[in-house]
Amino acid sequence: MWKWFHQWGSPPHFYRRAGRWLPWLAGLFAIFFVAGLVDGLVFAPADYQQGESYRIIYVHVPAAWMSMFIYMVMAVCGVIVLVWRMKMAEIVLISSAPIGASFTFLALVTGSLWGKPMWGTYWVWDARLTSELILLFLYLGVIGLYGAIDEKRMAGRAVAILAIVGAVNIPIIHFSVEWWNSLHQGPTVTKFDKPSIHWTMLLPLLLMATAFQIYYVWALFLKVRAELLQRERNSRWVEELFRS
């Protein structure tokens, strides 16, 4: 396990392994995305209360899940950066930030579009919505802070601290509908008692969530490889790569 961990911490090893995985990840993403979208938009039944408008759930919920998941990946990478000073963890952290920001923005936009027919307005200062908006600002803060510091190792440590501190917002987002009187509907996917989501609606949701996870890994590999070439452009392995 530790050997595998240290291998992926090597820039040339990561670059080559990630390059081999990219076409497979792209193919898996296409399969799961198309299957989830078709199942959710065509075969899943309409909701007995919300009708057809609920189908935005198949983009909104996976995007919201990914917005929290990616930030937790960044926070874990932040701990690794501060404790072990691993370069690859720093690169994964900063490369994840724009992807996570995109998923967070998508979750906010689709949530607003869903909120209009359900609540009669695109936005309310609800606990769930507000904490998700704060998450977007945290992502943008990581991106901005990293770009503002010229010395990249120092910038990596600074954004690592911000990522770790900002992680306190993740449980607030997750439990906000239970802790406060919220307009946002409560959890249904993780509940095994009634009312819970029917399997015919749950299956496409899980397919889309898997597709978004695969997309994150695919996009992360692309960004990390580009960052590695930029940082390691004067190293021997990059020179050998372009000579071969």
In sequence order, what DSSP letters do the residues of 190-225 get, joined into one string? Answer: T--SSS---HHHHHHHHHHHHHHHHHHHHHHHHHHH
Q: Closest Cα partner for 75 from 1, 209, 154, 171?
A: 171
Whether residue 150 has pLDDT greater than 70:
yes
Whether 143 is covered by a domain: the verdict is yes
Whether 4 is covered by a domain: the verdict is no
Q: Mapping DSSP to helix (H, G, I), strand (E, B) and coil, where does residue 51 land?
A: strand
Res. 243 pLDDT band, cuts 50 70 90: confident
Number of residues written out for the chain: 244
- Contact indicator for 133, 67 with CB cutoff of 8 Å: no
| CA terminus-to-terminus distance, the chain | 31
Whether 109 is covered by a domain: the verdict is yes
Whether 135 is covered by a domain: the verdict is yes
- Which range of residues forms the domain containing residue 152? 20-243
Integer Cα distance of 139 and 105 in angstroms: 10
Whether 231 is covered by a domain: the verdict is yes
Predicted confidence (pLDDT) per residue in 7-30, tens digit: 678 899 999 999 999 999 999 999
Predicted confidence (pLDDT) per residue in 82-135, tens digit: 999 999 999 999 999 999 999 999 999 999 998 888 888 888 888 889 999 999
Whether 160 is covered by a domain: the verdict is yes
Domain count, the chain: 1
User: Which tokens hold the place of 94?
Assistant: 């900063």
Whether 6 is covered by a domain: the verdict is no
Whether 58 is covered by a domain: the verdict is yes
* 47 phi and psi angles, rounded to 5 deg: -75, 140
